[in-house]
Chain A
C-alpha cells in the first residue's frame, strides 16, 4: 500500500515536472506585469488579471493572425484530407501498374525535409505572384501535409475488411457506390483523426510562414506572435504568455474532447509505418 502511494507520488511528480512549463505559461498570463518581477516569484498569482488577454485582442494584431491561421489550417486540412482520402482508397484497393512505386514515393516524401523544398517553392511562388498570400502557404503546406495524411489514411484504409466492399459490390453497388456507402462511414474515425493531425500540423507550422509571408495581412499566428516578441522594445512576457495560451486554444479543445482520435492516429501512422 505504502509502496503504491509512493509510486503514485513519484509518477505524478514526474508528470507535473513535464507539465510545469505549460502551467507556468498559464500562471504568467494572468499575473499583473509588476508581479512578474517579484523576488521570489509567486507560484500562484496574488492578483488575477485578464488585462493581458484584453490587451492582446484589442491592441495587437493577434486576432488578425488568429483568423489567418484558422483560414489557412482549415483550407489546408480540407484540401489535403479530400485528396488523400480518395488517393488512399486507390492505393489500397485498386490494382494498376506503378501502385507500389507510388506508395513508396508517399513514404519517401513523408520523411523529406522542408528545407530542401522551401527554396524552389519560394522561387516558384514568387514567380506565380503568390508571395505574401495565404494561398501560397496553403500550397506550401500541402508538401508536408499531403504525404502525411496519405500515409495515415492508407493505414486506416487497410484496416477496413475487404469483404465489406466485396459484399457491397455483390449487393449491387458500383466501386464508388461501395466507397460512399460502406468504406467512407467505416473510415470516418480515421478521417477525423487525420484531419486533426493535419490541422495541428498546419496550425503549428513556422518555417514556410517565415519565408513566404512578410506582411501582416497574411501572417499566421506562429510568425505573427514571434514578430510581436521581436518588434516590441521591452519584452512583455505576460502578453506573450497570454498569446501562447490563446494560440493553444484549438489544441486544448481537441485534447478535451477528441483525444482518442489523436491516439488512434499515432497507432496508424507514425509508428506502425
Chain B
C-alpha cells in the first residue's frame, strides 16, 4: 500500500499511540524477547549452573537430547498427562456446566464451590490432596476400604501406574472449572427458541443435546481444548509438587525435565535445549490457536 501524506492530527495520534504502547514494548523486550533469544543461545553451550561458566558446544545438546531416552520418555509422559487430564476436564466440565445450567437449588453457591479449585493455589491443592492420599490416615483410603473397593491401603503417589493416574485426576479436579465457566457462559447465549423448535419437532432430551446444544458448543469447545491443551502441556507446579516426577521418572514431563537438568543436574545448557524443543512442540498448538483467534477477530 502506498504511503500517503498524513494530516498533522493523524500523525499526532499515531505518535501518542506509540507512546502509550512503549512501556509494554520495553517490558516485553526486556523480560520476554531477550530471554527467549537467550534461551536459544544458551542451548548451544554446556553450562555448569553453580558457576554459570560454559563453553560452546554447538548443536551437541540437541543431538544428545534426541538420542537420550529421557527426552522421549518425558514426551511420552507429557502427552499421556495432557490427553488424560484434558479429556477428563472436558467431559467433567461440560457435564457440570449442563447441570449448573439447570435451575438447581442455591445455584450461585454451587457455582462458587465448583469454581474454587481453579483459583486456589496449586500449593494448597497439592497439600490437601497429599493429605487425602495419605496411605495410613488419608480419608480416601479409609472411604475406599469401608466401601469394600480395596482390601489394603493404596499407595497413590509412590507407585506406577497409580502416580500418573493420581496426577491426572488432581489435574482434572483443579482445572475442569475453567471448562465449566466457559461452557456455561456459552450455554446461556443459546436462544430458547432453538430448544422450543426442537421440542415441536419431537426431539427428546438426548436428541436435543446432540442436535441443539452440542453444535452450539462446538466453537467454544474447540477454543477451550486448544487453550487447555497448551496450558496442560506446560504444567509444572502440580506435577512437580505432587510427585516430583517420581517414582523414579515415571511422571516426569518436559517442564520437570528442564527444571531437573538446570537445577538438580546443573546442566543449564542442556536444560535450555530441552526448553527450546518443548517450545517448538508447543508452537504447533500456539499457531493453531492464534490463527483461529485471528480469524474469529476478523469475522
Q: Which residues from chain A sit less than 8 Å from chain B, CB to CB?
A: 7-8, 11-12, 14-16, 18-19, 21-22, 24-25, 28, 36-37, 39-41, 83-84, 86-87, 89-91, 93-96, 99, 102, 104-109, 111-124, 126, 139-140, 142-143, 146-147, 150, 175-176, 200, 203-204, 206-207, 211, 221-222, 225-226, 229, 237, 240-241, 243-244, 247-248, 251, 254-255, 259, 262-263, 266-267, 270-273
Contact = CB atoms under 8 A, between A and B. Distances in A.
A139 B28 CA distance: 11
Given A237-B131, A247-B124, A102 B278 contact: no
Given A12-B104, A222-B123, A247-B123, A206 B31 contact: no
Contacts of A204: 119-123
B275 interface: yes
Contacts of B282: 111, 113
Interface string B151-170: 00000000000000000000
B115 to A, nearest CB: 7
Interface string B96-107: 100110101100
A173 to B, nearest CB: 13
Contacts of B36: 112, 116-117, 120
A36 B139 CA distance: 10
A113 B286 CA distance: 11
Given A40-B146, A90-B20, A113 B255 contact: yes
Contacts of B14: 94-96
Given A112-B36, A117-B32, A270-B227, 10 more contacts: A18-B114, A107-B289, A116-B275, A120-B42, A204-B121, A207-B237, A211-B263, A241-B127, A248-B121, A251-B121
Interface of B: 13-14, 16-18, 20-21, 23-25, 27-28, 31-32, 34-36, 38-39, 42, 52, 96, 99-100, 102, 104-105, 110, 112-117, 119-125, 127-129, 131-132, 134, 136-137, 139, 142, 146, 173, 178, 181-182, 185, 220, 223-224, 227, 230, 233-234, 236-237, 240-241, 254-255, 258-259, 262-263, 268, 271-272, 275-276, 278-279, 282, 285-286, 289-290, 292-294, 296-297
Nearest to B104: A11
Contacts of B119: 200, 204, 251, 254-255, 262
B278 A116 contact: yes
Contact of B28 (A37, A93, A146): A146
A24 B13 CA distance: 57
A225 B120 CA distance: 14
Contacts of A247: 121, 123-124
B128 A119 contact: no
Contacts of A206: 121-123, 236-237, 240-241
Given A25-B128, A273-B292, A111 B110 contact: no
B173 A266 contact: no
Contacts of A19: 113-114, 116
Contacts of A11: 99-100, 102, 104, 110
Contacts of B105: 8, 12
B31 A266 contact: no
A225 B278 contact: no
12 contacts: A19-B116, A21-B132, A37-B137, A113-B233, A115-B259, A119-B42, A120-B36, A120-B38, A204-B120, A206-B123, A211-B263, A266-B185
Interface residues of A: mostly helix, strand, loop or mixed?
helix
Contact of A140 (B31, B52, B117, B128): B31
A113 B278 CA distance: 9
A105 B28 contact: yes
Contacts of B32: 109, 112, 117, 143, 147
A120 B35 contact: yes
A22 B17 contact: no
B77 to A, nearest CB: 15
A112 B36 CA distance: 10
Nearest to A264: B185
Given A90-B17, A176-B16, A273 B182 contact: no
A123 B52 contact: yes
Contacts of B173: 18, 21
Contacts of A126: 52
Contacts of A112: 32, 36, 279, 286
B104 to A, nearest CB: 5
A70 B198 CA distance: 53
Nearest to A5: B105
Nearest to B25: A102
B178 A270 contact: yes
A91 B42 contact: no
A142 B31 contact: yes
A207 B38 contact: no
A140 B116 CA distance: 26
Contacts of A237: 131, 134, 137
A241 to B, nearest CB: 7
Given A113-B234, A251-B120, A124 B113 contact: no
Counting chain B CB atoms within 10 Å of each CB, the highest count among A7, A12, A86, A90 belongs to: A90
